[in-house]
Structures are given as structure tokens and as C-alpha cells.
Structure 1
Amino acid sequence: MTAKMYSLTTCVALGVLLGACNPTPSVTYTPPKTGTVNGYTIDATNKDTIKFNVSALDDGGKVILNGKIDSFTVKVDEVTGNPESNNAADVTATTTICGQYTSAGGPITCAVVLDASSSMTSTDPDEKRSEAAKQFVGRISSTDQVAVANFGAGGKDPYEDLHVYQSFTADKALLNKAIDDATKATGSTPLWESTVEATDLLSKAAGNNKIALVLTDGQANGTGNVDTTIAAAQKANVKLFMVGLAKGQIDERDMQKAAQMTGGLYSKVTEAAQLNDLFNKAFNQSQAFACLQVVFKLKGKVPAAGTEIKGTLTIKMNGGQFVAPYAVTFL
């Protein structure tokens, strides 16, 4: 054996030995203590197919950033609004993991956009939206960046419909003051024009996890449309988190489409007192999430428009499990 060959053989053998002595450490995932169903979308073609967005939390209430969902099950507790049957036993559910659990992409760059239309006087007379937005801000870290704006009460240069009260910062005192200033109820609902302008604001900011968190309580009555908004968000790599206070009619179909087409979130509540929960779930979604698909059939058929199904998802993940409630209104 030549010296060169002996040296090579020795190096290979040494490498194998060192590898055996120092194996690659296994990854340990945090088991969940609890979790949330953050929102959902309904498939535009298959109207019985629901995609839920879920996040897992540790025993300290922090969002778990990585892991693996092994399986999940669906429990149906209540059915209302169906013309044929409101019996939960008539519902079947077929499950699929449509997106494995993953981090959302690091520190957030988020524009919090509040509806300032006059109808907020009746839908949120106690200004719970301000409390909810401040709760969202309270959870950000020093590496996150948030801006605060509203729409409906008149825009501020350079925007026609969007009024920016605070540009991107992690300073919670400045953000909370801006939320107070932005909590108005005096105008109309130029929802899509304002969301396009929020996307423009985000396009000029740094960061890879960009979100427009847009709250509205009514139907858009401006000249913009959802398709233009989606195109602008996709171009700027902005996820649209469309959240509704649905005491009356909101543009659910378009809001779901905006969320689905931008990798964002759609969710709604019916009472202003529930806005804290809604904004909390939006923050969870901004950190990490999975997609869980459920096909619901009621007596073997697609649930009729207006049908609401409520229940729980039991999700096995990271060696543990959590149970989270859901509520779906079919369109």
C-alpha cells in the first residue's frame, strides 16, 4: 500500500469513527399545551371543503414555531341554519393535512388597518377594536415592526383612502397612541382601495414576513375590487389577514378569496367583545401555523348556504395533543 493510499484509508476510517462517536443530534419538538383555530377558507369550487388555519401554543402561551402534526379528528357539536337538517349526527367529516406545521417566516412587518366607517358606532360602540389592536401590539417583539392606519375617515397624503397614524416601529407606546388616534367612526367603507394602499405601504418596508391585518364591519362601497387587491398583494409578497366584525353583512366570499390567494387569513366574529380573541389568533397565525382540510357533508350533500357548523378539532402533534373549537358558515 502506498503512503498516499494509506493516508486516505486512515482519514476515511477516522471519519467513520468520529461520526459514530458524535451522531447528529435528534430534533426535540415542544409538545402543545393548547392551540387555536385562527380562521378558515371555503374552496371556491368544492363548497363543502374547508381549510382551517391552526397554531399550537406551549405551556407558557407562546406559539410553537416548529413541529409535525401526526393526525387530527373532527367533532361536530352543533348545526344551525340548514333547511333540511340541523342534526349534528347527520354530518360526516373527511380529514386531510393540507399544509404541515411551519414557521411563518420570522419577525413580522405588519400594517394594522382599522375600519373607521360610521357603522362602527353601532357595531363597536365601546371601541373594543382599540383594545384588541393594543393586545396584538402587546405581543410583538423588539424585532417586529408594526404600522397603524385606518380607512373610511379620509386618507392622508400620499394615500387617498388610507390614513397612516404611525409608520413602522416596535415602540409599543407610540403604537398604542396611534391606535387611540385611529379609532374613529365617521366615514364610508373603501375596503379594497385601502387594502391596496396598505400593501403599497408594506412594499416600502423591510422584512420577509409582511402582513396587512385589515378589520372591517361592513361591505365594501368604494370603486376598488378584490382581484386588483390580490394582484397588488402578490406582487409585494404581502399576506392579507382579512378579519370581520359581522353583525351585519360583510364581503365574506371576497375576504376569503383575498386570504386564500395571498397565503393569509380570514376570520370573523359577530360581537365586538370577541375582537380580542380574533386579533390574538391573527398574531398566532403570523408566527406559525398548519393547514387542516375538512370535507363536510350533511346527509351526503354539500351544506346549504347559511348553514353554520360548530365543533372542535383534536390535533396530535409533537408527542402531545390539543383541542380547539371551530365555527364555519357555508356560503
Structure 2
Amino acid sequence: MPQHTRSRYVPLSLSLRPRRRSLGGLLGLSLLLASCGGPAGTPAPTTPTATTMQLNGTRVLSPTQVQFGVTPLNGTQTVSGTLSNPAVTFSTAGVSGAVSVCGQVTVQNTVTAAVTLDATGSMTTTDPDKKRRDAAKAFVARMTGGSQAAVLSFEASSTPSAGLLGSVLHQDLTSDQAALNTAIDGATYASGSTNFYDAVVDAVKVASRAGRPGPIVLALTDGLDNSSSNSPDDAIAAAKAAGVPVYAIGLDARNTINFAEMERIASETGGLFRSNVAAGDLDAYFSQLYNAFTAQGCLELKLAAAPAPGTTVAGTLSVDVTDYGKATSRLSVPFSYAVRDTIEPK
């Protein structure tokens, strides 16, 4: 037999013996780990994945289909995790339906937000203490890393900034918190009528023109649009074209204003809507929205039948939140929203 054939054969037979010892060693190691509480004897985790869940707002897709943005929290910190086993109970008589997971928790550490604040004359009544100023500054204070924000105000009596339709740009996108706070001070005045749709188009332009990933618009108003050159459909088209969701807050503590178009703008652009908000709630709600921008999942409610306009649909959403190495958390959060005379999405 040639020499090179023997040299190939001999190492092959020798290599089997160390492999047998290796398997035996692994078996012994496995038994040792099991006896010491290793993988075979590890107790179930007790640290919960999350302790509470916040509801960030609604997205009305149709009279029978509503989505809710939700964020799991550990104390005040946002957490990620897999959402499963959703359930809903209703406290509104005659309303029934089911809930499903429409999106897992998406984590984003960098925020890019154009914040546009209502500066119309009615703000002297609805927000006399300028709580929107404090809320916007608290939002800015939470910005970390590469996060950036811009500050705009809107009302129809002021000359808009160059390139904008109906808004004053007090500060373009920046991470400079001192500059942003100065801009917020300048944005919280009260004069003129409401040009909300123009303000949305302007804010979308500012949020998206730097080309940063995941820009959003955070828009606050206390009334219905009566001065814009743009329509709600124009605002929706601009936001969709730029890929910028609009998160809209209706300042209406008594829930007497029909924010149907504002709600539609938020819903159709992939943002969220929240009304029935008083000035004193703004600080907490701006903070909730910051949480939403950094870690948010989605639960979708499908009703058996469309409730009558004017109905307040209320109840409780529950869902499991699971993360590797932690105990599954069963979390619940109350919800309510007003059924409006909505215009069907186009």
C-alpha cells in the first residue's frame, strides 16, 4: 500500500477515540450542571418582563376597526417584548368584539420630531397657564443620543417663515436643548385663527427634509380649522408622501369638539390621536408620546357592529408580554374613545 494511503487512514482511526472521550465528558458535565442548578435544573425566571402598560392613543381605520398604540413599561422605563394572547372586556353596554396583535413592540432609540403648537387666540382660554410650554420642554428634556426636534407655532395672523404655508419655524431640527427651550418660549403665544391643516403640511416638511430615519410630527390644537389653504386630504397626502406619521392631540377637556378630521389625519398617516385632554394633562401626555416614539406595539379592536356616533366605547385591553430570561407579564390597560361622524378613508 502506498505511503500516502496509510497516512490518510491512520489519523482517521485515531480521531475517533478523542471524540468518544469528548462525548463522555459532555455527559458528565451535563450531569454536574444539573446537580448544581444549571440548564437542566434552572428555575423559572421570576423577574417580570414589564410591570405596567400605557395606552398612547387611537388609530381609527373604520367604524368597526380601531387600533391602539401601547407601550410596556418597567416602572418608568420602556421595555421590549413579544405581545401575545390579547383579550378585551367592554364596559359600554351593547358593544362587543375581539382584539388582536397588529404589531410587535418596535424599539427606536433616536427620535426625530417636528413639534407644532397651537398659538391661536383661543389658547388664552384653553391653556392660560401655558401648560403646553412646560409639556414641550419636558419632552425636549427626555431627548437622548442623536435625537432631534424642531419647534413650530401656527395661527393665521402671523407671517409664515420662508418656505412654509402658515407656520412660524422657531427652531429647525437640532439636538441643542437650550435652543429648543428658547424656541418653545417663543412659540407659546396666542393670536389669530386656526390653520391646522397648513400647519401639518409645514411640520411634515420640516420633519422630513433632513433625511433622518423615522421622522414624526407632534401636533397640538384646541379647535377646528377655519383658515387653511390646504384640506385634510392635502395634509394626509403630504404626510404619506414623506412617510411621516402625525400624532395629534386635541385640547378639549369636555370632549365637545368634533375632531373627526384631525383624527382622520392621524389615523391615515399611521400616527395616533388623542382628545378629551385638558391643559393640565399635557405634561403627562407628551411624556407618554415620547415613550410611544421609542417603544410601541399595536393592538387592534374589531367590533361586531359599528356603534352610533356620539357613543363612548370603553373597556380594558389585556395582553401577555414576554422577553427572553424574564417571566411573562399579563398586563391590562383601560381604554376609551369617542365614536365620531367620521369620513371613510379614501
- Alignment TM-score > 0.5, same fold: yes
Of the three residues 175, 178, 185, the one matched with 1:170 is 175
Deviations 1:176-230 (Å, cap 9, x if unpaired)? Answer: 2211111111111111111111111122224202011011111111221122212
Of the three residues 249, 252, 271, the one matched with 1:243 is 249
Q: Distance in 2 between matches of 1:203 and 1:251?
A: 29
Question: TM-score, normalised to structure 1's length?
Answer: 0.81
Deviations 1:265-323 (Å, cap 9, x if unpaired)? Answer: 211233211112321221121112111111235xxx42110101233222210111322
Residue 98 in structure 1 maps to residue 113 in structure 2: no
Q: Distance in 1 between matches of 2:216 and 2:308?
A: 33
User: Where do residues 117-266 of structure 1 align in structure 2 (5 Å cutoff)?
Assistant: 117-152=120-155, 153-154=157-158, 155-221=160-226, 222-247=228-253, 250=257, 252-266=259-273
Q: Distance in 2 between matches of 1:242 and 1:255?
A: 7
Q: Distance in 2 between matches of 1:5 and 1:233?
A: 71
Residue 305 in structure 1 maps to residue 309 in structure 2: yes
Q: Distance in 2 between matches of 1:274 and 1:148?
A: 20
Q: Secondary structure at the match of 2:96?
A: strand
The residue number in structure 2 matching 1:32 is 50
The residue number in structure 2 matching 1:83 is none
Residue 323 in structure 1 maps to residue 332 in structure 2: yes
Give the conservation status (yes or no) of the 8 Å contact 2:150–2:206: no
Of the three residues 275, 281, 297, the one matched with 2:282 is 275
Question: Once the two structures are aligned, what percentage of the paired residues are identical?
Answer: 33
Question: TM-score, normalised to structure 2's length?
Answer: 0.78
Gaps in structure 1 of 5+ consecutive residues: 22-27, 80-87
Q: Distance in 2 between matches of 1:52 and 1:303?
A: 18
Q: Secondary structure at the match of 1:328?
A: strand
Q: Distance in 1 between matches of 2:303 and 2:197?
A: 31
The residue number in structure 2 matching 1:69 is 83
Q: Which is greater in Rg?
A: 2
Q: Distance in 2 between matches of 1:6 and 1:328?
A: 78
Q: Distance in 2 between matches of 1:5 and 1:273?
A: 84
Residue 112 in structure 1 maps to residue 128 in structure 2: no
Q: Distance in 2 between matches of 1:228 and 1:30?
A: 45
Root-mean-square deviation over aligned CA pairs = 3.0
Q: Distance in 2 between matches of 1:30 and 1:205?
A: 39
After the TM superposition, list the runs of 4 or more consecutive aligned residues in structure 1 that deviate by more than 3 angstroms. 1-7, 247-251
> 1:151–1:232: structure 2 CA closer, same or farther, 3 Å change rule?
same
Q: Secondary structure at the match of 2:136?
A: helix
Give the conservation status (yes or no) of the 8 Å contact 2:195–2:225: yes
Q: Distance in 2 between matches of 1:232 and 1:37?
A: 27
Q: Distance in 1 between matches of 2:190 and 2:139?
A: 21
Q: Tell me how far 1:231 sits from its aligned partner.
A: 1.9
> 1:6–1:159: structure 2 CA closer, same or farther, 3 Å change rule?
farther
Q: Distance in 2 between matches of 1:270 and 1:233?
A: 24
> 1:251–1:151: structure 2 CA closer, same or farther, 3 Å change rule?
farther
